[in-house]
Amino acid sequence: MVKVDISMNSQLEKSIQQLKESVEASIDQLLPLSDQRPDNLHSSMRYSLCDGGKRVRGILVLLCSKIFKASADPLPAAVAIECIHAYSLIHDDLPAIDDSDIRRNKPSNHIAFNEATAILAGDALLTEAFKILSENYKENPELGIRLIQELATASSSLGMIGGQMEDIENEGQAVVASTLDFIHENKTAKLIQAAIYMGFAFSEESKRHSNEIRQLGYHIGMSFQYIDDLLDVQSDTETLGKPTGSDSDSDKLTSVKVYGIEGTQKKVAEHTSQAEALLDQLGGEQSILRPYIQFLQNRLN
In the complex, the residues that contact a copy of itself under the rule CB under 8 A are: 32, 36-38, 40-42, 45, 87, 91, 94, 96-97, 114-117, 119-120, 122-124, 126-128, 130-131, 133-135, 137-138, 141-142, 144-146, 148-149, 152-153, 155-158, 161-162, 164-166, 168-169, 182
Q: Give least dist CB 230 to a copy of itself, A.
A: 26
Q: Which is nearer to a copy of itself, 6 or 158 (CB)?
A: 158
How buried is 23 (Cβ within 10 angstroms: 0-12 exposed, 13-18 middle, 19+ buried)?
A: buried
Q: Which is nearer to a copy of itself, 141 or 263 (CB)?
A: 141
Q: Which is nearer to a copy of itself, 48 or 223 (CB)?
A: 48
Q: Give least dist CB 257 to a copy of itself, A.
A: 21
Q: Give least dist CB 300 to a copy of itself, A.
A: 30
Q: Which is nearer to a copy of itself, 17 or 173 (CB)?
A: 173
C-alpha to C-alpha distance for 236 and 301, rounded to whole angstroms: 10
C-alpha to C-alpha distance for 69 and 60, rounded to whole angstroms: 15
Which are the contacts of 20, defined by CB distance < 8 A and separation ≥ 6? 54, 55, 58, 59
Q: Give least dist CB 23 to a copy of itself, A.
A: 20
Q: Which is nearer to a copy of itself, 155 or 272 (CB)?
A: 155
The answer to whether the CB of 147 falls within 8 A of the CB of 201 is yes
Q: Which is nearer to a copy of itself, 164 or 264 (CB)?
A: 164
The answer to whether the CB of 257 falls within 8 A of the CB of 225 is no
Give, as one character, the DSSP assignment of residue 285. Answer: S
C-alpha to C-alpha distance for 41 and 36, rounded to whole angstroms: 9
Q: How far is CA 267 from the centre of its chain?
A: 19
Nearest CA to 72 among 61, 82, 83?
61
